[in-house]
Amino acid sequence: MKKTPLYDEHLRLGGKIVEFAGWEMPVQYSGVVAEHVAVRERVGLFDVSHMGEIWVTGARAEEALDYLTCTKVSSLYDGKAHYSAILNERGGVVDDIIIYRCSKERFLICVNASNADKDFEWLTKHNPTDAKIVNASAEYGQIAVQGPRAIELVAPLVKGVDVRALKYFHFVECEILNSPVIVARTGYTGEDGVEIFVKAEKTVDLWRLLLEQGAALGVLPCGLGARDSLRLEAALPLHGHELAEDITALESGLGWIVKFDKGDFVGKAALLKQKESGLSKKLVGFHLDGAGIARQGDIVATADGKEIGVVASGTKTPTINKALGMAFVTTPFTALDTKLAFVVRGRSIDGHVVQLPFYKRSN
């Protein structure tokens, strides 16, 4: 299995290591609840160096990405990023990504850990231009600093740039510890914060600096467990759960990023056809009304036992303090407050459809 540049740091800090997407990663340090609360109330650090980085460069880079993704890449400007997706010909989600525009001829794509090699091969195979596509994942570490005090922690460390003025989904190329980094005001927790792309060999130095400088702010290192509970409260999709190649972008609730008003892109024809005919299933949020937790793969049914869907993700989260999740349900049963039944280990638990997201920060 692969290890990030911070693997030894995780062991030193008592992180419990598990396998995730082919990587040895910490699932928790001080406990999922404590780490979750730290991010909601103060600041937490996540090692996300397992994520992949792909550069797309050249005079036709923008044109290539407009075809290879479902968003309007031509609408980006220097220093702006946006959430996007790579789709297959059926409109299914190969991967969800973030695209960062450094210039019209230089774009960085952040892809999911388990999909980095697959995404690179897919982009290269379907590239309609002579744009250069390079998988640079091994060159980078990445640290997510998340929480209401994240900017307070990071701002003093950045040379010559006021990170406090950085808008949401904007980024800047700058220096920390006399080394080039990319600081992006993005995250996967539903809180404010940044994600820092750093040279692989400088990742340990940056991690230690953030822990040292953040001690007075109540910083905690956080693992995959808190990352998942935080993203689920914010209703952020996870590939392999809410997103998959056999589930279309429209079914997964990604219609808001699909730009039909641009030129052709992979999957456009299939999604237009589906949009015109109507969706047979949709992604919804749910709360359980009875005791228990519905998890991925559990069956969703009507009160009289008719199977109508399947759970994509589910748990009981610290902030909401309820058993909740997201599920794919046939369209007639997706209205708010619709009564549902969840089959968990052979037992039926009542629940109902709720508004997403479950959690939204006040500012």
**What is the secondary structure of 27-76 as a DSSP string?**
EESS-HHHHHHHHHHS-EEEE-TTSEEEEEESTTHHHHHHHHSSS-GGG-
Q: What is the pLDDT of residue 362?
A: 82
Residue 363's pLDDT is 67
Report pLDDT for 81.
98
* SS3 call for 362: coil
The amino acid at residue 53 is E
Give the helix, strand, coil percentages of the chain, each rounded to 5: 25, 35, 35
pLDDT, position 60: 98
**CB-CB contact of 154 with 172 (8 Å):** no
Cβ-based neighbour number of residue 217 at 10 Å = 15
| Residues of the chain where predicted confidence (pLDDT) is lower than 50 | none
Strand order in the sheet with 52-57: 81-87, 93-103, 106-111, 52-57, 132-135
CA distance 113 to 90: 23
Query: Going by C-beta distance under 8 Å and a sequence separation of 6 or more, which residues neighbour residue 283?
Result: 237, 242, 251, 252, 253, 312, 326, 327, 328
What is the CA 197 to chain-centroid distance, rounded?
15
Buried b (16+ CB within 10 A) or exposed e, 175-198: ebeeeebbbbbbbbbbbbbbbbbb
Give the amino acid at 169.
F
Which of 107, 69, 72, 73 is closest to 88 using CA atoms? 69
Q: Set out the domains of the chain in order of their start, with CATH numbers.
A: 2-48+138-233 (3.30.1360.120), 280-354 (2.40.30.110)
Report the percentage of the chain scoring pLDDT > 70: 100
Asked whether the beta carbons of 77 and 256 are under 8 A apart, the reply is no
Torsion sign over Cα 166, 109, 90, 262: positive
Q: Does residue 145 contact residue 194 with C-beta atoms inside 8 Å?
A: yes
Neighbours of 33 (CB within 10 A): 14
**DSSP string of 302-344, one letter each residue:** -TT--EEEEEEEEEE-TTT-SEEEEEEEEGGG-STT-EEEEEE
Q: Are the C-beta atoms of 226 and 44 separated by less than 8 Å?
A: yes
Tokens of 341: 């039944």
Q: What is the pLDDT of residue 56?
A: 98
